[in-house]
Amino acid sequence: MLAVEPDLSQLTDAVNNQGRSPLDYLIAIGIFATFLLLGRMIQILTKRLINKTDADSLLGSLIGRTTNYLLVTFGIIYSLDKLGVAIGPVLGALGIAGIAVAFAFQNILENFVAGVILQIQRPFSSGDEIIAAGHEGAIRSVDVRTITIESPDGETIIIPSAEVIKNPIVNHNIKNRRRSSLEVGVAYGSDLENVSRVVFDALSGIDDVFDQPKPEVLVHTFGESSVNISIRYWHKPSIADHWHTQHEVASAVHSAFTAHEIEIPFPQQVLRLPSPDS
């Protein structure tokens, strides 16, 4: 079926209707104002209702805002209809204009749709610490076009929603725990079973390291001058806890190795020089 473009003369006649009384204009304005007020009231009531429950406030805000927009649109249509404006030609012209606007504001619309998807899927909540689009920080606010996070350095970062939804999202808070690893090398002559016992004893004295799941001490690689082991442990999920616990683990392991005379070797290279006679 071919799309019928609106006749501009019909559109002009529809908008410039004659014979309308001041009362008709007052009624039209009253209809529009009623829908505008009703939409705003529903938006506020929806937000308050969501805040009183355990439901996601971001989704409630989206529902209230969308309902408000729909009611305002209906108010405009009924107001024009009351004035005798032919809605068909007007909507046709607006449709053509809307296509042009959509191309002009493609990025804005893309972020809007991405924001709606994020608020429906809810991969994170306010306060969660995430990694998204190459940035790490705590969620401070989410709207239909952007998310705002605060980095560990105190910087406020505003990320377009489309960039967030196009990239992997790492949420540290979903399971309320996080695992970190510390790599350390010991001399090749070390007793690896004894090394493991010393590490476990050192970790047992750190309150920030979880008992369950249990820490792990695993041989990782054979380096040029050391046997490299990986110490894996669980702790609270925040970025600050990650760095604080890693400091405690590194300090405790270093002190334990020193007390038990376990060598952490320096990188070494053996150079063989040819003798003068060769």
Print the domain residue range for 79: 20-104
pLDDT at 4: 45
The span from the CA of 93 to the CA of 88, in Å, is 9
Residues 179/218, Cβ–Cβ less than 8 Å: no
**Cα–Cα dist 179/208, whole Å:** 12
Q: What is the pLDDT of residues 239-271, one digit of tens each?
A: 999 999 999 999 999 999 999 999 988 877 777
Q: For the CA atoms of 20, 21, 27, 32, what is the dihedral angle to 10 degrees?
A: 40
Contacts of 160 (CB under 8 A, 6+ apart): 107, 111, 114, 145, 146
The H or E element containing residue 41 is helix 22-51
- CATH code of the domain in which 142 resides: 2.30.30.60
Q: Is residue 220 part of a domain?
A: yes
Q: pLDDT tens across 78-105, in order?
A: 777 776 666 666 565 556 555 555 555 5
Taking residue 234's Cβ as centre, other Cβ atoms within 10 Å add up to 20
CATH code (residue 255):
3.30.70.100
pLDDT of residue 41: 83
pTM beyond 0.75 = no
Q: Using an 8 Å Cβ cutoff, are 72 and 36 in contact?
A: yes
**Phi/psi of residue 224, nearest 5 degrees:** -70, -30
146-150 and 156-160: which strand pairing? antiparallel
Mean pLDDT of 104-116: 74
Looking at 1-10, 187-196, 208-217, which range is the least confident one? 1-10
Count of the separate structural domains present in the chain: 3
Bridge partners, 137 (sequence order):
130
Residue 116 lies in a domain: no
Per-residue pLDDT of 121-139, as tens digits, reads 888 888 899 999 989 999 9
Residue with more model confidence, 191 or 51 = 191
Residue of 181, 168, 162 whose CA lies nearest to 131: 168
The residue ranges of DSSP E strands in the chain, in sequence order, are 129-132, 135-142, 146-150, 156-160, 169-171, 178-186, 216-222, 227-235
pLDDT at 20 over 90: no
Stretch 30-48: mean pLDDT: 79
* pLDDT tens profile 219-238: 989 988 899 999 999 999 99
Residue recorded with tokens 């809007």? 112
Edge-first strand order for the sheet with 216-222 is 178-186, 227-235, 216-222
Residue 32 is part of a domain; what is its CATH number?
Answer: 1.10.287.1260
Max CA pair span of the chain: 119
pLDDT band at 3 (very low <50, low <70, confident <90, very high): very low
Q: Which residue has the tokens 């505008």?
A: 36
**Least confident span in 44-48, 92-96, 146-150:** 92-96
Does some domain include residue 117?
A: no
Overall residue count recorded for the chain in this entry: 278
Say if 5 falls within a structural domain. no
- Looking at the chain, the whole-number percentage of residues with pLDDT higher than 90 is 38
Same domain membership, residue 187 and residue 209 = yes
89 and 51 share one domain? yes
Q: Are 187 and 228 in contact (CB under 8 A)?
A: no
Tokens of 243: 């760095």
Per DSSP, the three-state class of 182 is strand
Residue labelled with tokens 């804005």: 108
Q: End-to-end CA distance of the chain, in Å?
A: 94
Would 33 be classed as within a structural domain? yes
- C-alpha radius of gyration, the chain, whole number: 33
Choose one of 59, 74, 104: the last residue of a domain: 104
